[in-house]
A and B are shown apart, each in its own frame.
Chain A
Amino acid sequence: ETGVTQTPRHLVMGMTNKKSLKCEQHLGHNAMYWYKQSAKKPLELMFVYSLEERVENNSVPSRFSPECPNSSHLFLHLHTLQPEDSALYLCASSQAWGSNQPQHFGDGTRLSIL
């Protein structure tokens, strides 16, 4: 148990569907992150929220839309995805926003686009 819970664990969707990934952290952390992990590629940072404000947006296509309603919850809304978006999406949190902070990861959502 890492203290970071992601749901669903697996998701299969068509390119025209709309779905959302959910992340919840029970660690009292102030920063939350979305990463994309594709086969044979390094982990890619997508978004960072610090105290519920987006502080990093790494040139992610607009078909990915993050939402952070409070410091414990983070969502990634998906619409009109492409086959190359199939990947493991990982959520993480840290005590504060900063690269000197260890990050705590959830177990990810395995996303498959048909």
Chain B
Amino acid sequence: SQQGEEDPQALSIQEGENATMNCSYKTSINNLQWYRQNSGRGLVHLILIRSNEREKHSGRLRVTLDTSKKSSSLLITASRAADTASYFCATDHAGNKLTFGGGTRVLVKP
């Protein structure tokens, strides 16, 4: 079964607002990654957070990881129209492969 599940499935916000999406998983992980996919394009790596880390920042992105709750969140602050995309979490649960969730579609309205 799929390892990571994003919530919500879709999110619509106004430019300048913050966007938060969550990822839950079932079994323990070594690390968790977030990716962005613009329409018609491939996935772009955003952030990797290891199981012994609780929070990471990259520009306007903030990722948290709560291993006790088996969940992660991605926060985009001061959103822009260019942030309109689908966002995926990916977990490693065994071996050397990543398992991707179904994604959250984010629409940022100007």
Contact = CB atoms under 8 A, between A and B. Distances in A.
Nearest to A90: B42
Contact of B48 (A56, A100, A108): A100
Contact of A2 (B31, B40, B42, B88): B42
A105 B41 CA distance: 9
Interface stretch (B11-19, B73-81, B90-98): B90-98
B33 A102 contact: yes
B88 A43 contact: yes
Contact of B42 (A56, A102, A108): A108
Interface string B32-49: 010100001111110010
B30 A42 contact: no
B76 to A, nearest CB: 19
Residues of B in contact with A, size category: 20 to 34
A40 B86 CA distance: 12
Interface residues of A, number: 24
Given A42-B100, A48-B97, A102 B45 contact: yes
Contacts of B2: 42
Contact of B97 (A4, A56, A105): A56
A106 B101 contact: no
Contact of A107 (B30, B40, B101): B40
Given A99-B96, A107-B40, 17 more contacts: A6-B42, A41-B102, A42-B2, A42-B102, A42-B103, A45-B97, A90-B43, A97-B96, A98-B96, A99-B30, A99-B31, A99-B92, A100-B50, A102-B33, A102-B45, A105-B42, A108-B42
21 contacts: A4-B42, A42-B102, A42-B103, A43-B88, A43-B100, A45-B97, A45-B99, A99-B30, A99-B31, A99-B92, A99-B96, A99-B98, A100-B31, A100-B48, A100-B92, A102-B33, A102-B48, A105-B42, A106-B42, A107-B41, A108-B42
